[in-house]
Structure 1
Amino acid sequence: MNKKRLFSQSLIAAAITLAASQQALAAGFQLNAQSATGLGRAFAGDAVIADNASAMSRNAAAMSLFNAPAISLGINAIDTDIEVKNANYTNVFGQTSSLDNQQIGDTSYAPNIFYIHPINEKWTVGTGIYSNFGTKTEFSSNYPASEYGGMTDVKSVNFALSTSYRINQQWSVGGGLDIIYGEGKLQRSNETLENLIALKTGKKGKLLDVDANGVGVGWNIGTVYELNENNRFGLSYRYSPELETEGDMTYMGNDISNDKLIMPLPDMAEFSGFHKLNDLFAVHYSVQWIGWSAFDKLETEGNANATLNTYEWQDGWHYAIGGTYYLNNDWTLRAGYMYDTSAQDEITSISVPDSDRQWFSGGFTYHISAKSNIDFGLTYLLGKDVAVSETNGLTSIQATTRANAWLYGIQYSRSF
């Protein structure tokens, strides 16, 4: 194979690797931050507990458990501690060097608001604004392997409109629409690679510089079965759309702003149970499936209309168990544990740190009055060390990543 052909194929490989890692991150970081109450129990039982209006974010059918209008509003903070360490980088000249450790985490905020309104004994409607996806990581501007690092800032907002119907004393069903707005800023650069690309194509620019946004429409359905007033089960399914994003996009020195970048989002299903054992204590649990395997390929639509990469993600699972202690009329205490499996399998990235992780959660409710309360939730998220190896045909990096986080939430709820 001649050097010119090898160089051309290497440039294509670099482009594919860059695009795949960025888009996977944009779509692949789930937020469990819909309420402070759920955060305090690791979201165990959240598809059926229905102790405030945020229940509609996990299961629309749970709105049938409310007999009066209810509102909840709050904010969760996600303080990520993400480290890229023990990195060895090989540049385009074949020189290998050890890189300084990088702290690439940041603090993000996820506000939420929900309102539920029973119309009569059968029908209930609700609306909410919250987020299911988002992340932010940023390497230092002088990081030698900036073609693998750089900056990624992805946000999403879910505007929900739902309704529920009580069939009888035991069964309720519900469903709704989700209008999802997403936006992302992605930057990748390497001056040496950019100069090589300019020599080949005559076009100079960042390897990747994207500032794009888009809207998609999804839906959700669910059901609740009440064995009795102290024991009930919930099941829900959420369809997530593909977002067609548009904006200012530069890719390998080319302006591709007229193209559309497709951002697939995973479907989710959840089963929850709640059992109040006596006047003081209840146990609850959840199993959630997240369809990350939908990310089988990354595509663009427009002039290129190309499949940029085929990659292998795996479906994720959450297993959560928790307990609630009704201390007295003023205070309710809760705790929970979740085991959360990684979405990534064999393909890993320093800019998308991911692993199996554990959630250790605690929280409380202070009842201001019979109709209003304040919730606080706290979680420590503990990840694992992951060995990462990346290459684009011209450069390569091997490193170890670890992602931990603290999550804090506060929320006010009221019934009328």
Structure 2
Amino acid sequence: MKLSKPENNNIPTIQTSTIANLPSPIRFKKLLLSLVVITAFGITQAQASGFLLQEAVVANAGTAGAGDGVYTESAAAMWANPATMSHMGQSKTTINAMVFDLELDYQDNNANGNANGHTVMPTLGVFHVTEVNQGVHFGLGLGVVGGSSIEYGDQWAGAALLDNISLMAVQVNPSMSFQIDEQWSVGIGAQLNWASLEQNTAMISTESGSDWAYGYNLGAMYQPNKQWALGLSYRSKLVHKFDLDAQGLIPHPDLGINKVTTGVVVPDIVDFSASFSATQDLNLLTSIQFHRWSHLDNTALSLSSANGRIEPDMSIDREWSDVWHFAIGADYRLNADWRLKAGFSYETSPQDDPSKQWVDLPVGEQYRYSVGLSTMWNDTGVDLFYQYTDLGNVDINRLHLDGRFDGRIHYLGANFTF
């Protein structure tokens, strides 16, 4: 079964109260559609570029992450590029703590019901780097790399597809770096990624399910002189597989669907970062990233019952493209105690066709604006920052949905390094 856009885009929304009166075949198709959305939504929301919510693992949040691959004032830089650990001295520990405020709005063009999803949640990252031998450093990072909890309710046009979602993705990243000479260092690490998902629609819900995925990361850093630093790093793709127990308001009398299985690919990421000391007080930073989202051509899944597998070849067409991420930032010394930071980033959209958008993850261009202040408190470095993320306007015209999604995120946080 292949889900695709029907010829008639004005199919009326089917409210929960009318489900029980539908003929059995129609009820079953709606149930399958809800199952498809359940498996796809939370996983891809956590992993897609705009919803990575990776500020907890950003080393220099006040610059929107610009230059993270060469930033050595925070142990969190090991996440962007493990080679940075060679320039962190004998020991360095960083704790990133913040709160994010996420809001997603849907406006329906046919007055079938609007929606507002809003959540406020904390997020955390902890990183430690230590020198184990001359020229050899070991680092361990633990960070929330994705996840949120958001609720649209059961009165909007897409209630049969999505009501609420609770998702968490955490990664452990042990790494090693090696100092080759005064100019070159290299690093290698392992990605141990754990994710948990639970979701409800107006018609069906799943029990919480979890999965581990494994990958690696590599990096190199080059400092030709005291003014310049260049870094290049790579994070491999991760493959998650979820087996979710399902319960529906309209279980099929013959098939009795009780489990959903799906696989999700998280793309590989290439990062190039640079910093330039323009003056004694001013540092300029930049990063260019390539996210290989063309891996996500579709979202496949299979359904199971007590009698075995059902419809093993279902999928949601996505046809995503690769994504480019550009960031620039500046770090300026105000006086002997304080530094001022500012940054901006832009991310291209993996999908611009309204007929290819899907309710689980409306994606578009993204813009991030960040400011920060840093100082020393005794022997502890303190970074305070605020970031506004504009998730853009995303039109959708697929199945019975015809409208627009708008989204934004506020971040407020503090990073402590000692």
TM-score, normalised to structure 2's length?
A: 0.83
In the alignment, does 2:167 pair up with 1:147?
A: no
- Hey, what's the Cα distance between the residues in 2 that align with 1:397 and 1:353? 12
The equivalences for 1:237-386 within 5 A come to: 237-250=234-247, 253=251, 260-300=261-301, 303-304=309-310, 305-346=312-353, 347-369=356-378, 371-386=379-394
In the alignment, does 2:45 pair up with 1:25?
A: yes
Equivalent position of 1:49 in the other structure: 71
Q: Secondary structure at the match of 2:55?
A: coil
183, 188, 192: which is aligned to 1:175?
Answer: 188
Corresponding letter in the other structure for 1:14: L
Q: Secondary structure at the match of 1:408?
A: strand
The equivalences for 1:200-219 within 5 A come to: 206=204, 208-219=205-216
- Hey, what's the Cα distance between the residues in 2 that align with 1:266 and 1:110? 22
- Hey, what's the Cα distance between the residues in 2 that align with 1:350 and 1:244? 21
Q: Secondary structure at the match of 2:294?
A: helix
- Hey, what's the Cα distance between the residues in 2 that align with 1:164 and 1:53? 13
- Cα deviation, 1:109-141, whole Å, max 9, x if unaligned, reads 220100000123310000010122223331123
Identity of aligned residues (%): 22
Q: Secondary structure at the match of 1:112?
A: strand
- Hey, what's the Cα distance between the residues in 2 that align with 1:163 and 1:140? 46
Given that 1:87 and 1:398 are in contact with CA atoms closer than 8 Å, whether structure 2 keeps it comes out as: yes
Given that 2:158 and 2:359 are in contact with CA atoms closer than 8 Å, whether structure 1 keeps it comes out as: no
Structure 1 pair 409–182 and aligned structure 2 pair: CA distance change class (3 A)? same
Given that 1:153 and 1:184 are in contact with CA atoms closer than 8 Å, whether structure 2 keeps it comes out as: yes
- Cα deviation, 1:264-294, whole Å, max 9, x if unaligned, reads 2121110000111221101010001112221
Q: How many residues align?
A: 381
- Hey, what's the Cα distance between the residues in 2 that align with 1:36 and 1:265? 18
Structure 1 pair 263–238 and aligned structure 2 pair: CA distance change class (3 A)? same
Structure 1 pair 300–401 and aligned structure 2 pair: CA distance change class (3 A)? closer
**1:100 offset after TM fit, Å?**
4.4
User: Which stretch shifts more, 248-257 or 403-412?
Assistant: 248-257
Q: Secondary structure at the match of 1:383?
A: strand
**1:243 offset after TM fit, Å?**
1.4
- Hey, what's the Cα distance between the residues in 1 that align with 2:315 and 2:266? 17
Query: Displaced runs of 4+ in structure 1, greater than 6 A?
Result: none
Given that 1:151 and 1:186 are in contact with CA atoms closer than 8 Å, whether structure 2 keeps it comes out as: yes
Q: Secondary structure at the match of 1:34?
A: helix
- Hey, what's the Cα distance between the residues in 2 that align with 1:261 and 1:332? 47
Q: Secondary structure at the match of 1:313?
A: coil
Given that 1:387 and 1:400 are in contact with CA atoms closer than 8 Å, whether structure 2 keeps it comes out as: yes
Given that 1:133 and 1:155 are in contact with CA atoms closer than 8 Å, whether structure 2 keeps it comes out as: yes
**1:10 offset after TM fit, Å?**
5.5
Given that 2:154 and 2:201 are in contact with CA atoms closer than 8 Å, whether structure 1 keeps it comes out as: no
- Hey, what's the Cα distance between the residues in 1 that align with 2:59 and 2:86? 19
Equivalent position of 2:233 in the other structure: 236
Structure 1 pair 75–343 and aligned structure 2 pair: CA distance change class (3 A)? farther
Corresponding letter in the other structure for 2:294: S
Q: Secondary structure at the match of 2:97?
A: strand
- Hey, what's the Cα distance between the residues in 1 that align with 2:403 and 2:150? 16
**1:52 offset after TM fit, Å?**
1.0
User: Which stretch shifts more, 7-16 or 325-334?
Assistant: 7-16
- Hey, what's the Cα distance between the residues in 1 that align with 2:268 and 2:147? 16
User: Which stretch shifts more, 21-30 or 53-62?
Assistant: 21-30
Q: Secondary structure at the match of 1:33?
A: helix
Unaligned runs of 5+ in 2: 1-22
Unaligned runs of 5+ in 1: 89-97, 191-205
Given that 1:188 and 1:209 are in contact with CA atoms closer than 8 Å, whether structure 2 keeps it comes out as: no
Q: Calculate the aligned-residue CA RMSD, in Å.
A: 2.6
Corresponding letter in the other structure for 1:253: P
Given that 1:212 and 1:246 are in contact with CA atoms closer than 8 Å, whether structure 2 keeps it comes out as: yes
400, 409, 417: which is aligned to 1:405?
Answer: 409
Structure 1 pair 84–278 and aligned structure 2 pair: CA distance change class (3 A)? same
**1:307 offset after TM fit, Å?**
4.0
Equivalent position of 2:174 in the other structure: 161
Q: Secondary structure at the match of 1:168?
A: coil
- Hey, what's the Cα distance between the residues in 2 that align with 1:55 and 1:357? 23
**1:328 offset after TM fit, Å?**
2.8
**1:296 offset after TM fit, Å?**
1.8
